[in-house]
Amino acid sequence: MTEALLLKPYFQTEAGIVFYRIPPTVNKLAFGERTILMPATDHLKTQPSGKIEIAKNLQNSTACPQLMDFAKSELVRKAAGGDAELSKWVRKIAICQCRDGAYCHKEMTVTRTATGFIRTCWHHDGIAHRGEASEEELNALAEENWVQFVAYKIRKDLSLQADDSVNLGCLFAWAVAKNCINAINEQDLRLLLNLPPKETHDHRESTTYAAEQADPHKIFKALAQPVLKLKADPEPPASFMAKPKEKRFESSKWLQFVKSQPCVCCGKRADDPHHIIGQGRGKMGSKEHDLFVIPLCRVHHNELHCNAQLFEQNYGNQTDLLFRFLDRTLSLEALSVNDR
């Protein structure tokens, strides 16, 4: 058995029993006569009830040692959306985080602490506001919620699955996209760059010494440039012609980037950059501009060219897919406009 059930418990404290509501889509016979009960890991707090894969989910997929320090940065707080986005995420937590097994009100709310937000029932929200709960414990819960929220934002913005692990590479990719690379400390950046740890010694000149003195933040800023920069011209010469000759925009660099992105249909590694077809823009002996491309895996690329109408019924209009892809690339700063 490779699957488990993630369910919300309903405690009947006086009777010493607990109830679980099993989703109607789950076959009750598939779980045998006995089951194992254990607390859900932190990254499953906001997951809906239902089946989960044991191999992926019975471990904390956000257990990245660098994540805690990274999440504390004000740059990260601003990039992740701050308290407004955090509060929305905390509302998705299905259980009272202050439950003690004694009593919880059925209505839920969000309680603000000195360090963030926690999910509570009305009963424990009142206890917190009256100062009858441990402030240290409440703040610790809120801090953990913030770390889990940052992990959620990283997965979402990088198009990862909800149960995918967040590692140092993910932190770096998200930090580059959100322009907060300074939130990653120098030693972790050195690890990514395969540079030796910075140490103080008496070496006068050597290759090792030069590598130790290199500033990893400057190196990453130099490397983290947009794939494509477009120059905006408010008065191009062709715009003053009665019948200007149209030129096709070409960029092999952009096509290479698109090819490296996940397929817009299934999320798997793309095999080809697909130039939009149809849409009333047929061109004799030519393709669309290289900017009007979307990443597709080989299966979905073949599916589109076999029957474009059926493809769009299943996955959406090509122009809609293009808009969403361009929106993502702009947010990742892979595409920028030089308007100077």
Q: Domain holding 263: CATH number? A: 3.30.40
Per the domain annotation, does 296 fall within a domain? Answer: yes
CB 297 within 8 A of CB 270: yes
- Determine which helix (DSSP H) or strand (DSSP E) holds 216, and give its type and residue range: helix 216-223
Q: Which of 56, 73, 7 is nearest to 160 (CA)?
A: 56
Phi, then psi, of 197 in degrees rounded to 5:
-60, 145
Per the domain annotation, does 79 fall within a domain? Answer: no
Q: Which of 31, 57, 83 is the last residue of a domain?
A: 57
Q: What pTM does this model have?
A: 0.56
Using a 10 angstrom Cβ sphere, with 0-12 exposed, 13-18 middle and 19 or more buried, the burial of residue 217 is middle
Per the domain annotation, does 238 fall within a domain? Answer: yes
Domain containing 237: what range?
A: 228-338
Per the domain annotation, does 247 fall within a domain? Answer: yes
Distance CA 146, CA 234 (A): 44
What pLDDT is stored for residue 143 in this prediction?
93
- In total, how many domains does the chain have? 2
How many CA atoms are closer than 13 Å to the CA of 70, on its beta-carbon side? 31
What pLDDT is stored for residue 34 in this prediction?
61
Q: Which of 57, 77, 97 is the last residue of a domain?
A: 57
Q: Which of 28, 57, 86 is the last residue of a domain?
A: 57
Spans of the chain, pLDDT less than 50: 1, 55-59, 203, 205-211, 340
Per the domain annotation, does 324 fall within a domain? Answer: yes
What pLDDT is stored for residue 58 in this prediction?
47
What pLDDT is stored for residue 8 in this prediction?
78
- Count Cβ atoms below 10 Å from residue 174 Cβ, excluding itself: 27
Collapsed DSSP state (helix, strand, coil) of residue 67: helix
Per the domain annotation, does 76 fall within a domain? Answer: no
Per the domain annotation, does 171 fall within a domain? Answer: no
What pLDDT is stored for residue 41 in this prediction?
65
Per the domain annotation, does 104 fall within a domain? Answer: no
Per 3-state DSSP, what percentage of the chain is helix, strand, and coil (rounded to 5)?
Answer: 40, 15, 45
What pLDDT is stored for residue 211 in this prediction?
47
